[in-house]
């Protein structure tokens, strides 16, 4: 077991290396475009924002590797093995639970914003086969996003999380890890990512909200990672989260009127509506993780 002082040193080095790329490149990109890059409608802004996001998602993995090299840690406890045997249910849960959460989010959005429309009329029955094919294609295309999702997960769950648990209690590690992950998003949140720019107390409310979301998501992803001792279930879950959210389902299947109304809604208001869904998954995951680790310690 490495010393607490060395572990803290590694945590600091890792986080600085993970944080700096987005912290430096996002303001430069925004300056180049001339406006909030993630809220801009300019064609070049959209391409730059996408490239910046994908590049940024690999920063935690690069930070993981560099920290191991700088501190002469080597590749022990890397979480890179698949560990499929006996863990198939966690691989399925990584995708299935996230999709169930998305369905709950769609229901919450309907209840809050479209209560005047019967739920049965929320979705258009026209071209259902084409829309189903589009959804399956959307899920399949998520595979492309596996690699940047892995880029984040091998850093946050495969390195930072286990290190935090060496210097603080497990509940604290989940919370602190989630907050640090949320703050890592701050540069892009300040540029309009996730919530836009048209909400009260921009961007501080968005940064705080991102910390809450990341803490809840961190509980589920940590549960998957620690149960399997592998980073891949968390990477699959992150992949689905980024490419098959509630907005995707609504835009694919909603009636034309509902889709138009949805596109006009504030991104922050929609995100706030989904709080019960990710709180439920986060709290249940937190309880299960604590229960499992207590049993292992006894």
pLDDT value for 125? 58
Which range marks the domain in which residue 88 is found?
Answer: 79-297
Mean pLDDT of 20-39: 94
210 in a structural domain: yes
Mean pLDDT of 80-100: 95
Quote the number of domains for the chain: 1
What is the predicted pLDDT for the residue at 253? 77
Give domain status of residue 47, yes or no.
no
Under a CB-based contact definition with an 8 Å cutoff, are residues 49 and 37 in contact? yes
Q: What is the pLDDT of residue 51?
A: 92
Distance between CA 52 and CA 56 in Å, rounded?
Answer: 6
Asked if residue 298 has pLDDT above 50, the reply is: no
In a domain, 272, yes or no: yes
**Stretch (H or E) spanning 186:** helix 186-189
More confident residue, 123 or 202: 202
pLDDT exceeds cutoff 50 at 119: yes
Is residue 188 within 8 Å of residue 250, measured between CB atoms? no
CB 206 within 8 A of CB 189: yes
Higher model confidence: residue 174 or residue 242?
Answer: 174
Residue 274 in this model has a pLDDT that exceeds 90: yes
| Lowest-confidence segment of 48-62, 151-165, 222-236, 280-294 by average pLDDT | 280-294
Instruction: Identify whether 32 is part of a domain.
Output: no
Work out the angle between the directed axes of helices 88-113 and 232-243 (0-180°, nearest 10): 20
pLDDT of residue 1: 61
Beta bridge partners of 254: 123
Q: Residues 173-187: what's their mean pLDDT?
A: 98
Burial class, 191, CB count within 10 angstroms (exposed 0-12 / middle 13-18 / buried 19+): buried
Average pLDDT across the chain, whole number: 91
| Length of the chain as a residue count | 298
List, for residues 205-245, the tens digit of each pLDDT value: 999 999 999 999 999 999 999 999 999 999 999 999 988 88
Distance from chain centroid for Cα 194:
11
pTM of the entire structure? 0.93
- At 207, list the tokens: 């940064």
Residue 72 lies in a domain: no
Across the chain, how many H-helices and E-strands are there? 14, 0
In the numeric block, which tokens belong to residue 70?
Answer: 């700088």
Q: What is the mean pLDDT of residues 119-136?
A: 69
For residue 69, the model assigns a pLDDT of 97
| Contacts of residue 63, Cβ cutoff 8 Å, sequence gap at least 6 | 13, 14, 15, 17, 18, 155, 159
Name the more confident of 121 and 279.
279
- Tell me, yes or no, whether 195 lies in a domain: yes
Q: Write the DSSP symbol of residue 178.
A: H
Helices 4-33 and 43-70: crossing angle, nearest 10°?
160
Categorize the per-residue pLDDT at 140 as very low, low, confident or very high, splitting at 50, 70 and 90. confident
- 193 located within any domain: yes
> 270 lies in a domain?
yes
For residue 100, give every residue at least 6 positions away whose Cβ sits within 8 Å of its Cβ, in sequence order, or none: none
């Amino acid at each position: 077991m490495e010393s607490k002082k060395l572990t803290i040193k590694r945590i600091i080095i890792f986080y600085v290396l993970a944080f700096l790329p987005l912290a430096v490149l996002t303001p430069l990109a925004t300056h180049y475009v001339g406006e909030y890059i993630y809220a801009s409608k300019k064609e070049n802004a959209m391409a730059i924002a996408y490239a910046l996001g994908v590049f940024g998602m690999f920063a935690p993995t690069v930070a993981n590797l560099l920290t191991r090299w700088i501190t002469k840690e080597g590749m022990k406890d890397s979480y890179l093995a698949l560990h499929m045997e006996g863990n198939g249910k966690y691989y399925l849960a990584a995708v299935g639970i996230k999709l169930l959460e998305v369905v709950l989010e769609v229901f919450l959005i309907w209840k809050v914003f479209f209560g005047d429309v019967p739920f049965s009329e929320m979705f258009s029955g026209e071209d259902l086969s084409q829309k189903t094919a589009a959804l399956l294609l959307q899920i399949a295309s998520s595979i492309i996003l596996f690699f940047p999702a892995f880029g984040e997960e091998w850093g946050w769950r495969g390195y930072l999380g286990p290190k935090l648990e060496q210097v603080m209690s497990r509940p604290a590690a989940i919370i602190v890890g989630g907050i640090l992950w949320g703050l890592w998003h701050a540069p892009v949140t300040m540029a309009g990512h996730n919530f836009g720019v048209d909400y009260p107390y921009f961007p501080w409310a968005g940064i705080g909200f991102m910390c809450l979301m990341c803490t809840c998501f961190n509980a589920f992803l940590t549960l998957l990672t620690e149960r399997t001792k592998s980073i891949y279930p968390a990477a699959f879950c992150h992949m689905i989260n980024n490419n098959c959210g509630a907005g995707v389902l609504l835009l694919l299947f909603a009636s034309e009127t509902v889709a138009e109304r949805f596109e006009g809604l504030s991104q922050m208001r929609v995100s706030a509506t989904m709080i019960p869904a990710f709180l439920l998954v986060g709290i249940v995951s937190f309880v299960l993780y604590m229960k499992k680790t207590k049993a292992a310690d006894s």
